[in-house]
């Protein structure tokens, strides 16, 4: 009888090491402006989330919080490749994807702190970041649904003839739930401009994905079931992500239908809150810490001749923004009590009776 832990102790699964960086990516057709913008995005995401973590540990962020520290290259690369009117659909692990669309830090942080100046007035919280005017169509906290919802935005774009794409980010663990299958199958059948991006960070919450999945590549090995190509990339190389995104978006805009992309990555920390991620083999953690998206990107920019001080300037700018956002969030008011009773309905209220 075979069960996930019948042949090894919990945490003793075989480590999965990061891909080797492709040196040819240095020479890819990406402008230096795009690359500098990507670097800035990476810094914004990293520094923002480090601050969010501090605030969580200080008890200022209540409830829960899921960080993507270590996984920023995907959000930055895909985000940079999007058109301003494209749609993002993300998960509870959605801070980076929200920032990637240009949503300012301050309302995001205020939302994490449950303040009235939060992105959704404190009503949504960390797991539901949404900024429709930035194309950030929501962060979804129940596994699976948003893959199906992204299809609707893609369908609508097609119906309206706007050439927009809908980009949907989700985790490796999500590939085993029913909605994944329905959404992929539906998108492929209707040839929708949905780009599905699996952020494979090797773990669900506290369980290794390989322990509970019958194929080695949770997304890529499923692509053929939808008549799609298996595509797997180094999710810690922002340029690889950017290139893959550009190609997938082009196909989608050309009416060639959806893509399913598996981006290998890793979280530096645990799943959420104060989890330390100690169920992961030491060797694996170390290898991935050494394959950090920001280090990789900084080194590449230096190799391409960007001055170190220019990069430090970006880092400092961002640090200042984080300080300011922190201040604005902390200074934010508690939400108006009456806001608990607004926006159930389109008339702005919550009344169900006369």
Ligand X SMILES: Cc1ncc(C[n+]2csc(CCOP(=O)(O)OP(=O)(O)O)c2C)c(N)n1
Binding site for a copy of itself (CB under 8 A): 1-4, 144, 158-159, 176-182, 185-186, 188-191, 212-215, 221-222, 224-228, 255
For ligand X, the closer CB: 222 or 246: 222
Q: Which does 213 bind (CB under 5 to 8 A by kind): Mg ion, another protein, ligand X, none?
A: another protein
**Interacting residue with ligand X among 98, 174, 259, 265 (CB under 6 A):** 174
Window contacting ligand X (CB under 6 A); options: 26-34, 80-88, 140-148, 296-304: 140-148
Is 48 a binding residue for ligand X by CB under 6 A? The answer is: no
**Considering the rule CB under 6 A, would residue 254 count as an interface residue with ligand X?**
no
Site for another protein in 251-310 (CB under 8 A): 279
Picking from 96, 73, 5, the residue whose alpha carbon sits closest to that of residue 298 is: 73
> In angstroms, how far is CA 247 from the centroid of its own chain?
19
- Edge-to-edge, what's the strand order for the sheet holding 87-91? 136-140, 87-91, 166-171, 194-200, 259-264, 231-234
Q: Which is nearer to a copy of itself, 16 or 318 (CB)?
A: 16
Q: Is the dihedral of CA 108, 110, 113, 115 positive or negative?
A: negative
Min dist CB 86 to ligand X, Å, is: 21
Contact 89, 169 (CB under 8 A): yes
Tell me the angle at which helices 105-112 and 32-57 cross, rounded to the nearest 10 degrees.
20
Touching ligand X, residues 183-202 (CB under 6 A): 199, 201
Q: Using DSSP, state whether 262 is helix, strand or coil.
A: strand
Task: Out of 18, 70, 77, 173, point to the residue binding another protein (CB under 8 A).
Answer: 173
The Cα 270–Cα 265 span in angstroms is 14
CB of 196: closest distance to a copy of itself in angstroms? Answer: 13
> CA-to-CA distance for 91 and 127, rounded, in angstroms?
7
Residue 199 near residue 262, CB atoms below 8 Å: no
Query: What dihedral angle (degrees, nearest 10) is formed by the CA atoms of 188, 193, 194, 195?
Result: 100
Q: Which does 226 bind (CB under 5 to 8 A by kind): a copy of itself, another protein, Mg ion, none?
A: a copy of itself
The token pair at 37 is: 């913008």
Q: How many residues bind another protein (CB under 8 A)?
A: 86
Member of 70, 122, 171, 193 binding Mg ion (CB under 5 A): 171
Residue of 333, 322, 264, 287 whose CA lies nearest to 118: 333
Q: Is 205 in the site for ligand X (CB under 6 A)?
A: yes
Q: Establish if 147 lies at the interface with another protein (CB under 8 A).
A: yes
Residues making contact with ligand X (CB under 6 A) = 93, 141-144, 170-174, 199, 201, 203-205, 271
Residues making contact with Mg ion (CB under 5 A) = 171-173, 201
């Amino acid at each position: 009888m075979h069960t996930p832990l019948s042949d090894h102790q919990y945490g003793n699964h075989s480590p999965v090491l990061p891909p080797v960086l492709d040196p040819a990516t240095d020479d890819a057709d990406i402008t230096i402006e795009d690359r500098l913008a990507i670097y800035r995005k990476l810094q914004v995401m990293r520094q923002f989330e480090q601050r969010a973590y501090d605030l969580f540990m200080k008890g200022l962020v209540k409830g829960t919080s899921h960080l993507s520290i270590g996984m920023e290259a995907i959000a930055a690369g895909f985000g940079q490749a999007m058109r301003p009117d494209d749609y993002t659909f993300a998960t509870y692990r959605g801070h980076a994807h929200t920032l990637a669309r240009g949503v300012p830090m301050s309302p995001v942080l205020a939302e994490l702190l449950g303040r009235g100046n939060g992105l959704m007035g404190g009503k949504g919280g960390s797991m539901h970041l949404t900024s429709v005017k930035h194309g950030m169509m929501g962060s979804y906290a129940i596994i699976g649904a948003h893959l199906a919802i992204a299809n609707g935005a893609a369908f609508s774009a097609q119906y309206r003839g706007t050439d927009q794409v809908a980009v949907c980010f989700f985790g490796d663990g999500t590939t085993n739930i029913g909605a994944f299958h329905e959404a992929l199958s539906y998108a492929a059948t209707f040839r929708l401009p949905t780009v599905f991006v699996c952020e494979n960070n090797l773990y669900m919450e506290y369980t290794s994905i390989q322990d509970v999945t019958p194929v080695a590549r949770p997304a890529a090995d499923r692509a053929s079931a939808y008549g799609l190509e298996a595509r797997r990339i180094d999710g810690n190389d922002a340029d690889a992500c950017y290139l893959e995104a550009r190609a997938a978006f082009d196909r989608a805009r050309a009416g060639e239908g959806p893509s399913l992309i598996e981006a290998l990555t890793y979280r530096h920390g645990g799943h959420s809150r104060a989890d330390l991620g100690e169920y992961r083999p030491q060797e694996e953690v170390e290898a991935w810490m050494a394959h950090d998206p920001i280090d990789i990107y900084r080194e590449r920019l230096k190799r391409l001749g960007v001055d170190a001080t220019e990069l430090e300037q970006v880092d400092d700018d961002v640090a200042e923004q984080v300080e300011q956002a922190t201040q604005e969030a902390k200074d934010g008011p508690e939400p108006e009590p009456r806001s608990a009773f607004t926006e159930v309905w389109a008339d702005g209220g919550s009344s169900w009776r006369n």
